[in-house]
Amino acid sequence: MVAHILGLRLRLLVNSFRRNLWQAIGLAVAVVYGLGFAVLSAVGLAALRVAEPELARATVTVFGSLVVLGFLLAPLIGGTDDALDPRRFALFPLRTKRLTLALAVAALVSVPSLVVLVLAGAQVTTWTRGPLPLFLAFVAAALIVVTAVLGARVTTAVSAFLLATRRARDATSVVAVVVVLGAALAVPLLSSVEWGRRGVAILDTVASVLMWTPLGAAWATPGSAAVGDTGAAIGQLVIALLTVGILWLVWRALVPWMLVAREREQQVRVREGLGVFARVPGTPAGVIAGRSLLYWARDARYRVNWIVIPIIPLLVAVPLAVVGIGWDRIALLPVPLMALFLTWSIHNDVAYDHTAFWQHVAAGTRGLDDRIGRLVPPLLVGLVVVVAGSIVCVRLGGVPDLLPALLGVSGGILLAGLGVSSLTSALLPYPAVRPGDNPFTQPQASGTASGLIQSVSFLLTLIVVGPSIWFAVLAVLGDTEAVWSSLVLGLVLGAVMLFVGVWGGARIYDRRMPELMAFALRN
């Protein structure tokens, strides 16, 4: 059975290159990236052969722990479509023990497994420093591969149940973006550390903890032997063996349970009354506004914005703080940036409707009602962000005199951006994430178009508010009268762009309604 399922896994991997051209290209790119990472890492591990044993042990332990952690967390954060899910074999008369072993062995046939095989083999070259370290390096290589692959199987099985509902998938997607943005924030912070003087001490401190955990015990075992600490090497080897044993027992328990367990079903909430629709005007624009408010509150594609938009200023502020820019200057950036990305969130709003757009066509919705209704959520949120955020930021930055300028720039960006988005969503829609899909997926066909349209919408918004930004810069440089010029120009230019965008977008919507309907059904 093991050979049969292993062959099945190989055929599935080969056939994945034959489905369509884009999928084949994507898989090829993944293989190239994976093998490239493996080769570069293997070269680095081999180079540690000439490093001091303590430094080599600390480096290998930290690096290896991150690799194992990635194997464990990837299925939980991103989810996965497991081709060899045990539940696929529920109707076959197979022995559970043999099926458990076969599925574990078949998991070795994948790009991530190939990467960890290369890394585990490469760490052997690091410890060619004597008979005992070399022997333990070979043992550790086997334990590393089994820990990573079997751990991934366990977390994949767990995620199959945890991520069975749409709400769970949406939550993990939000967690994923927080993790990615957190990693982006960590880069400038780590770059500010004086690694030449303190780097080794920090690395040793982190490694001294990880080497006694299931993540790094196997990686640290030969290193401890190389530095002469045989007792630590034996203790870490025991931890690594226990980790493999526990993972195997968990996997053996999961497979028979998955064969008979029912999938989680999403609970349906029963709501009474009209909800938000009872609080909006009974007009076409009011109904569209109510529906847009529901989308922003419940649709994962919109909810992600609530997480991303507040973090974007941190991605800009942290590097500026690291290079020594004063807080009185940095405090002026978050609100305009949040306003810019908040307005950008509806620049492709028609595409987000997908096939539900037919209701607008069937009801004969006017373009003006559609444009006004879609503006309500970002406008309500944006006004709070601009007013409250500006007051807070100038106080924290110690520059209360610049409040009018900050209100002018931020308010101008909010109004102008909404006007630009009203135009682009009707004139230049492009394929977007479908309702119910992972909010971070993106159709292949939209790559170039989406990037160009997004760039144009950003650039046009900044051009419209350019005079207000110019006077705001003069105000920062000491021109006290420029703050009021920035305020007036920002609000006036933003209001004009909002009017032009809504009016023009409504005209385009009315004229292109059949094309928009065809686009929604096609994408």
d(CA 168, CA 272): 24
Which residue in the block uniquely carries the two structure tokens 């075992």?
Answer: 221
**Per-residue pLDDT tens for 213-234?**
998 899 899 988 888 888 888 9
Contact at 8 Å (CB) between 367 and 501? Answer: no
Please enumerate, as own/partner, the contacts of 40-49 that have beta carbons within 8 Å and a separation of 24 or more. 41/118, 41/119, 41/122, 42/118, 42/119, 42/121, 42/122, 45/119, 45/122, 45/123, 45/125, 45/126, 46/122, 46/125, 46/126, 48/126, 49/125, 49/126, 49/128, 49/129
Element (H, E) at 107: none
Q: What is the pLDDT of residues 461-484, one digit of tens each?
A: 999 999 999 999 999 888 888 889
What is the distance between the alpha carbons of residues 170 and 79, in angstroms, rounded to a whole number? 11
Q: pLDDT: is 450 or 257 the higher one?
A: 257
Interval 133-169: pLDDT, tens: 889 989 999 999 999 989 888 888 877 766 655 565 5
| pLDDT at 193 > cutoff 60 | no
Q: Report d(CA 278, CA 462) in Å as an integer.
A: 37
**Helix (H) / strand (E) containing 129:** none
Residues 6+ apart with CB under 8 A from 75: 152, 155, 156, 158, 159
User: Which of the residue ranges 3-7, 13-17, 63-67, 177-181 would you say has the lowest mean pLDDT?
Assistant: 177-181
Among candidate residues 407, 409, 423, the one with its CA nearest the CA of residue 375: 423
At residue 498, the pLDDT reads 94
What mean pLDDT is reported for the chain? Answer: 80
pLDDT at 447: 45
Whether residue 170 is predicted with pLDDT greater than 70 in this model: the reply is no
Spatial separation of the C-alpha atoms in residues 472 and 403, rounded to whole Å: 10
Q: 421 vs 432, which has greater pLDDT?
A: 421
Q: Which residues contact 261 (CB under 8 A, 6 or more apart)?
A: 161
Gap between the Cα atoms of 72 and 150, Å rounded: 9
Task: Specify the pTM.
Answer: 0.62
Closest CA to 211 of 182, 231, 194, 191: 231
Query: Would the pLDDT of 444 be above 50?
Result: no
pLDDT tens, position by position, 375-417: 999 999 999 999 999 999 888 888 889 999 999 999 999 999 9
Q: What is the pLDDT of residue 166?
A: 59
Per DSSP, helices labelled H in 267-402 are 284-298, 300-322, 327-330, 334-344, 349-353, 358-362, 367-397
Residue 182's alpha-carbon distances to 185, 187, 205, 307, 322, in angstroms, are: 5, 9, 22, 12, 16
pLDDT (0 to 100) of residue 414: 93
pLDDT, tens only, 275-331: 777 778 888 888 888 888 888 887 777 877 777 787 777 777 776 776 677 777 888
What is the rounded CA–CA span in Å between residue 215 and residue 212? Answer: 8
| Cβ atoms 498, 415 nearer than 8 A | yes
